[in-house]
Amino acid sequence: MNDAAVVPGGPHTGARSRANFLIKLLDAGRPMQIADVGARLTGGPGAPYDMLMKLGAAELSAFEPDADALAQLQAADLVNTKIFPHAVGKPGPATFYSHQIGTLSSIYRIKETAAAYLGKNFWARRKIEEIPMDLVSLDTIADFPRLDLLKMDAQGAELDILRGAKDTLAQAVVVIPEVRFYQMYHDEPMWADVDSELRGQGFVLHRFMHQKSVCLPGPQKRRFNVRRNHSQLLDGDAVYIRDLETWDRLSDVQLKMMALCADTVFQSHDLVAYLLDRLGERGAVPKNAARAYVDRVPDDILGPMPEKDAAPAEDDDSGDADSAK
C-alpha cells in the first residue's frame, strides 16, 4: 500500500458500519479463523464474534460434546461454521458430567461444599449424568486450521485445552478463556494456572469482558439488592492478546486480525488505534488510518478534540489512576 495513501474521515458510526470500514481497510486476504470450545447456544446475548460471522469475515470451528446442545447448534444451520461433537481437553478417556443445567456440564465434578457456600445447593442436587467419552486436543485434529482467535467456555478444561493447542495457537493473536476465581469443581484449574500457561505461550492479559460474582446466602440475603450487592467473585471471561512489547515480530496479518478483534469482539478502541499506527509505520495501511478509525468510534468514548498544533502526548498519564494522586 502506498505510504501516502489516505482514507477519508467519517462521522461517528455504529458497530456494524465501523466493522465494515475495518474489514475493507485491513484487507487481510482471508477470513479470520475462530474456534469456540463450548459453543452451546444459551438464548442470551450472542457470541462476541457474531459481528464478524454476520459480515462474512470469519470462519468458525464450534465444539460442543453435550448431545442436546450439539443438536441445537446443528439445527441452527450456522453459516461458515464447522461443528465438532468432541470434548476437548487432555487426550484420552474421561468422564463427562452432563448436568441438567447444561451450562454446568463439565469433565470435572461439582464440589458440594462450594455449592453450599455460594448458596447454589441446587447445583449438586440436580440430575447429573456420567458419560464416558474420549477427549481430543486441538493439535491432534486432522486438517484443523491455525487459529487467529480461540474462545473457551469449558467449565474447567481450559488449561488442558491450551496445553494441547500449542501448534494450533502458534499464530493466534487473541485467546478468550473463561477463568475461575473460586473453585466450583473438584480439582479444576484456577485463573492463575490458565494465566501462567497463556503467558508461557506468548500472550498477556488485556482486559476482562465479564466478571460474575454472587451474593452469599443467609437469613439476611433477602434484605440485599442482589443485583447491586454480590461480593464473592466466581468467574469471568478474560481477553488475552499476543504480547505487543515485541510487536515488530508479528506479521501484518497478525496485527490486522488483532485490530479487527479489538473492535468487533472486545471493544478496545485504543488498541485498534495503536495497531493501526504500527501498521501505518510499515505502510500496510494508510498513515492516517488510526485517525480515520477514531473518527468513527462512539461519542461517549472520545474526549475533547486536541488542539491542532498540540504535540502528541505519548507519555500522557491523564487517563491513569495514579495521575489523580
pLDDT tens-digit readout, 154-176:
999 999 999 999 999 999 999 99
Q: Taking a C-beta distance cutoff of 8 angstroms, is the pair 62, 73 a contact?
A: yes
Q: Taking a C-beta distance cutoff of 8 angstroms, is the pair 33, 145 a contact?
A: yes
What's the rounded Cα separation, in Å, for the pair 146 and 167? Answer: 8
Give the three-class secondary structure for 137: coil
Does the pLDDT of residue 6 top 90, yes or no?
Answer: no
The C-alpha cell 493501526 sits at 276
pLDDT category, 321, cuts 50, 70, 90? very low
Give the three-class secondary structure for 45: coil
Q: If you average pLDDT over residues 47-75, what whole number do you get? A: 93
Q: If you average pLDDT over residues 1-13, what whole number do you get? A: 54
| Cell (9 digits) for 190 | 484456577
Report CA dihedral (191, 193, 198, 199) to the nearest 10 degrees.
100
Q: Give 69-116 pLDDT, tens digit per residue.
A: 899 999 998 899 999 999 999 999 999 999 999 889 999 999 999 999
pLDDT category, 312, cuts 50, 70, 90? low
The C-alpha cell 467456555 sits at 153
Q: Is the dihedral of CA 275, 162, 40, 128 positive or negative?
A: negative
Helical residues (DSSP H) of 140-297, grouped into ranges: 158-163, 191-200, 252-264, 269-282, 289-294
pLDDT of residue 241: 98
| Cell (9 digits) for 161 | 485445552
pLDDT of residue 12: 57
pLDDT of residue 229: 82
